[in-house]
C-alpha cells in the first residue's frame, strides 16, 4: 500500500498529489489539484480523512476531503480571512483548526464541521504579535503554543490553555517564554514519548529543547544547539523541524547553507547530539518524514525540486536517493498513509 504525499505549490496555485513506494521511497506523481490563492501551509486531520490548506496570496483556509482509494482531494469548504495564515494544524482530536498569522500578528481557532469542512467564523481571533509563526496543541490537547520569531517579532513563545470542548484559548501564567538570546523560535515538534518540545530558531540557526510541565502547561529550556557547521558565516535561517516517530532522531533544514541538520536524541533526557549535515535542494523550506521513519523528503523552494533521502535506522544518517521536479515555489509537504 503506497503512502500519499501532498505538496503545496504556492506560485502554481496547486497542491500536487504523489505516491511514495514504502519500500524504496520512489515518488510517482498522481494529480495536481487547483487551489487558487497560493496554497502555503497544510495540515491533515488525525483521522486522515481531510486536508486543510492555508493560502497566502488570497488570505483564506480551504478544506478538502481525501479519497481513501487514490488520495485525491475534493474541496468541501473555505473561509476568507483578514490576514494570510503562515501555519495551520488541527487539535489532537480534529475538532478545531488552529492557525498563526505572521504579518497579522494573530492566533486563531476555527471550528471544523461534522463533514470535516471549514467555513464558519473563528471561535478565537487573538492579537498576539508580529512574527507569529506556528500553533499546535500538546499531546494532551490541554495546552497550545505560538512561537514568534525575533527582529520582526518579540522573540517569544506564547503559552495558552486550550479547552478542547469549546476551542477557547486562555493565556497561561506566565503568558510567554522569552529566551535571553536572540533565537527567533519559528516551528516546533513534540517528542513522541518524552514531555519535551523542540523549536527551530529562525534567526539563531539552532534548535532549542524545552521541558513541558504537563501540570501547568509551561515550558522551560534545557538545551540550544546549532544547526550549522563551525566557521560558517554566510546568511542562513532555519524553518521547519521534525522528530522521527521513534523519537531517536531529529532533523532541521538550513536555508542558505542549504542542508538538513541531523541530530540523535537521548531517549532518557531528550538531549540532542549533532550527527552531521547533508546537502539539500536550494532553500529547503519544507520537509517531511514518511510514517515508518524510513525516508525524509525535502522540497527546495528555490529549485522547485524534491530531494529524497533514506534514513539509516541505526544512526539516523540521511542517504541521498533521488531528486524530482515539483513545480514553482513548494512551501509545504505533508505525508499520510490511507486505508485504501
DSSP lists the bridge partners of residue 39 as 55
What DSSP character marks residue 274? E
Q: How many CB atoms lie within 10 A of CB 211?
A: 16
Rounded to an integer, what is the distance from CA 190 to the centroid of its chain?
A: 11
Segment 284-316, tens digit of pLDDT: 999 999 999 999 999 999 999 999 999 999 999
CA distance linking residue 15 with residue 3, whole number of Å: 16
pLDDT of residue 43: 98
Predicted confidence band at 95 (pLDDT cuts at 50, 70, 90)? very high
Question: Over 80: is that where the pLDDT of 328 sits?
Answer: yes
Name 310's Cβ contacts closer than 8 Å, sequence gap at least 6: 25, 294, 295, 318, 319, 321
For 319, how many CA atoms within 13 A lie in the half-sphere containing its CB?
11
Looking at residue 202, the DSSP 8-state letter turns out to be: T
Give the pLDDT band (50/70/90) at residue 1.
confident
- CA dist., res. 13 & res. 53, Å (int): 11
| Residues in a beta bridge with 64 | 51, 75
What residue ranges define each of the domains in the chain, with the CATH number in brackets? Answer: 35-178 (2.130.10.10)
Q: What is the rounded average pLDDT of the residues 122-149? A: 98
The predicted-structure confidence for 80-89, as pLDDT tens digits, reads as follows 999 999 999 9
Query: Mind giving me the DSSP string for 170-230?
Result: EEEEEEEE--SS---EEEEEE-SSSSEEEEEETTTTEEEEEEEETTTTEEEEEEEEESS-T
Residues in contact with 58: Cβ distance below 8 Å, sequence separation at least 6, in sequence order: 36, 37, 38
Write the DSSP symbol of residue 121: P
pLDDT of residue 136: 98
Q: What is the pLDDT of residue 339?
A: 81
151-205, pLDDT tens digit by residue? Answer: 999 999 999 999 999 999 999 999 999 999 999 999 999 999 999 999 999 999 9
Report field, pTM of the whole predicted structure over 0.95: yes
Mean pLDDT of the chain: 97
Residue 186 to residue 303: CA distance in whole angstroms:
23
- pLDDT tops 80 at residue 340: no
Amino acid at each position: 500500500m503506497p503512502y500519499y504525499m501532498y505538496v503545496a505549490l504556492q506560485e502554481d496555485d496547486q497542491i500536487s498529489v504523489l505516491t511514495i513506494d514504502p519500500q524504496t521511497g520512489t515518488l510517482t506523481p498522481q494529480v495536481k489539484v487547483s487551489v487558487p490563492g497560493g496554497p502555503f501551509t497544510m495540515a491533515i486531520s488525525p483521522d486522515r480523512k481531510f486536508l486543510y490548506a492555508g493560502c497566502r496570496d488570497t488570505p483564506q483556509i480551504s478544506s478538502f476531503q481525501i479519497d481513501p482509494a487514490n488520495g485525491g482531494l475534493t474541496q468541501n469548504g473555505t473561509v476568507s480571512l483578514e490576514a494570510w495564515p503562515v501555519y495551520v494544524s488541527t487539535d489532537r482530536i480534529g475538532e478545531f483548526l488552529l492557525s498563526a498569522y505572521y504579518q497579522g500578528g494573530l492566533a486563531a481557532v476555527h471550528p471544523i464541521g461534522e463533514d470535516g469542512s471549514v467555513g464558519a467564523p473563528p471561535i478565537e481571533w487573538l492579537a498576539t504579535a508580529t512574527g507569529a509563526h506556528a500553533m499546535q496543541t500538546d499531546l494532551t490537547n490541554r495546552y497550545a503554543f505560538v512561537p514568534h520569531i525575533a527582529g520582526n517579532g518579540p522573540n517569544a513563545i506564547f503559552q495558552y490553555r486550550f479547552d478542547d470542548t469549546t476551542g477557547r484559548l486562555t493565556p497561561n501564567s506566565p503568558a510567554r517564554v522569552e529566551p535571553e538570546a536572540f533565537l527567533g523560535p519559528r516551528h516546533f515538534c513534540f517528542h513522541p514519548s518524552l514531555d519535551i518540545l523542540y523549536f527551530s530558531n529562525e534567526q539563531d540557526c539552532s534548535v532549542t529543547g524545552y521541558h513541558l510541565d504537563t501540570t501547568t502547561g509551561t515550558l522551560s529550556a534545557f538545551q540550544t544547539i546549532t544547526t550549522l557547521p563551525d566557521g560558517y558565516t554566510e546568511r542562513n535561517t532555519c524553518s521547519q523541524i521534525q522528530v522521527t516517530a521513534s523519537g531517536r532522531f531529529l532533523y532541521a533544514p538550513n536555508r542558505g547553507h542549504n542542508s538538513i541538520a541531523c541530530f540523535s536524541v537521548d531517549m532518557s533526557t531528550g538531549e540532542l547530539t549533532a550527527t552531521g549535515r547533508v546537502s539539500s535542494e536550494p532553500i529547503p523550506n519544507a520537509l517531511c518524514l514518511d510514517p515508518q521513519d524510513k525516508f525524509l523528503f525535502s522540497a527546495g523552494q528555490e529549485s522547485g525540486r524534491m530531494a529524497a533521502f533514506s534514513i539509516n535506522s541505526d544512526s539516523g544518517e540521511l542517504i541521498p536517493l533521488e531528486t524530482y521536479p515539483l513545480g514553482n515555489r513548494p512551501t509545504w509537504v505533508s505525508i499520510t498513509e490511507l486505508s485504501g
